[in-house]
Chain A
Amino acid sequence: MSASYGRIVKDGLWENNGVLCMLLGMCPTMAMTGTGTNGLGMGIATAVVMAASNLMVAMFRNYVTHEVRIPVYILIVAANVTFVDLAMNAWMHELYKVLGLFIPLIVSNCLPLARLEAFAAKEPVLPSLVDGTFMGLGFTFALTVIGLVREAIGQGTLFADAALLLGPWAKVMEMRIMPADWGILVLILPPGGFLIAGLLVVAKRMIDLASGKEIKMAGAHSV
């Protein structure tokens, strides 16, 4: 089974997108998309964990027996999450104050585990690293878009507090597109996450249909 890198990148970002196509990782998707900034931060942290976990599983794939692979995968994901959690707390503290509460949630995200089982357990190191990175970036993309839509309609801003996440230069990204007293509360609250994620799944399928593609009803196991 030889994978082409272009294919892997395209699958991760769009065709087989973790959120918009496979509908995995819904817990952080709902919890962390109140604003575009939160979605972006959660997505990047998840992408780092996914790339590292995919890399490690691919490295060790010939030494792990089939029977104990799931506990070993969970161990690897949990260890990587802990590395990220501790390192961010120590050296990226401002970012940690925004995202810290949600980093441990990555352990319960089934998307990293799905990629380990469906891809990294069978493929060489480099393609696995690429798959983890781009599946993670696809996740970041989906979370950021959901977050932007929710915050634009819900509170009338784009990338609010981006400077907290990315540093002072990101002030230019922070925009207010609606008057200050604008607000449609339901979109900021949890139901808004379900509504917008659902609408985006529909949007993705409509785009795919319009470009003449067959709709892929993919599950986690199709590579």
Chain B
Amino acid sequence: MSQAIRPTWVHATILGAFCAGFGVALALTDDITKAPIKERALEDKMNSLGQVIPRSIHDNNPVTDTVKLPNPKAGGHGAPAETDIYRATKDGQVVAVAYEYMASGGYGGPIRLMLGVAPDGKLLGVRVISHKETPGLGDKIEAAKNEWITRFTGLSLGNPPAEKWKVKKDGGQFDQFSGATITPRAVVSGIRQGLEFFAANSSRMMEKK
């Protein structure tokens, strides 16, 4: 380098000034975007709940009416110790609950499901929230890619009977996909276990506040 060697404090000051300047800019951006981002997150949650609980049957906002229950899947794969039960009410009466349930045994790890259940134990809807299944094979469990997941609507623990809550390959009544059995098998048993979780805890899920 041809230029004279500068003392260290010059470099330190320059670097420090840039850090301070961009720090302020980032703080400002965070401040401006904080409110809209929070709103979007709430909308996302409402949309995902709206897919498993028809909007027409309740008059509250289930996102804000929650009870906490111990998570049956706590411990594995970073699942939290408690799970939120979102309650849809009409005139103060609980008409449906929605909750997340983690189906284990997927090809690429756990599959997160959102279940909407009526007080009588009937499924109002199921959606896959996130998964790591093989694209093009296992990802047909997404509602956007295939209508398979919508076939569970209206079913309950007794309908079909327990021995039929399986994919066809295992003697049950649910279709698997060509080339992918593990993924639907995990989802079917996840939904069944999710309904058992409801059956075991329904009184606590629906108790009045």
Contact = CB atoms under 8 A, between A and B. Distances in A.
A217 interface: no
Contacts, number: 67
Interface residues of B, number: 27
B15 A71 contact: yes
Contact of A155 (B19, B36, B136): B136
Interface stretch (B23-31, B109-117, B163-171): B23-31
Interface in B63-108: none
Interface string B130-158: 00001111000000000000000000000
A69 to B, nearest CB: 9
Contacts of B33: 86-87, 89-91
Interface in B5-51: 6, 10-12, 14-15, 18-19, 22, 25-26, 29-30, 32-33, 36-37, 40, 43-44
A65 interface: yes
B178 A89 contact: no
Contacts of B19: 75
A79 interface: yes
Interface string A17-56: 0000000000000000010000000000000000000000
Contacts of B15: 68, 71-72
Interface of A: 34, 60, 63-68, 71-72, 75-76, 79, 82-83, 86-87, 89-91, 93, 97, 154-155, 181, 183, 185, 188-189
17 contacts: A64-B18, A66-B3, A68-B14, A68-B15, A75-B18, A79-B22, A79-B26, A82-B29, A83-B25, A86-B33, A87-B29, A89-B33, A90-B36, A90-B40, A93-B40, A155-B136, A188-B135
Contact of A65 (B6, B26, B36, B135): B6
A71 B16 CA distance: 11
Nearest to A35: B135
User: Main SS of chain A's interface residues?
Assistant: helix
Given A65-B14, A66-B1, A68-B15, A185 B137 contact: yes
- For chain B, what secondary structure do more than half of its interface residues adopt (helix, strand, loop), or is it mixed? helix
Nearest to B35: A90
Contacts of A82: 26, 29
Contact of A89 (B3, B18, B26, B40): B40
A90 B42 CA distance: 12
B37 A34 contact: no
B40 to A, nearest CB: 5
A71 B14 CA distance: 11
Per CB-CB distance, the 3 closest pairs between chain A and chain B, nearest first, are: A90-B36, A90-B33, A79-B22
B137 A83 contact: no
Given A86-B29, A86-B37, A65 B136 contact: no
A91 B36 contact: yes
A82 B27 CA distance: 11
A156 to B, nearest CB: 9
Nearest to A64: B14
Contacts of A68: 11-12, 14-15
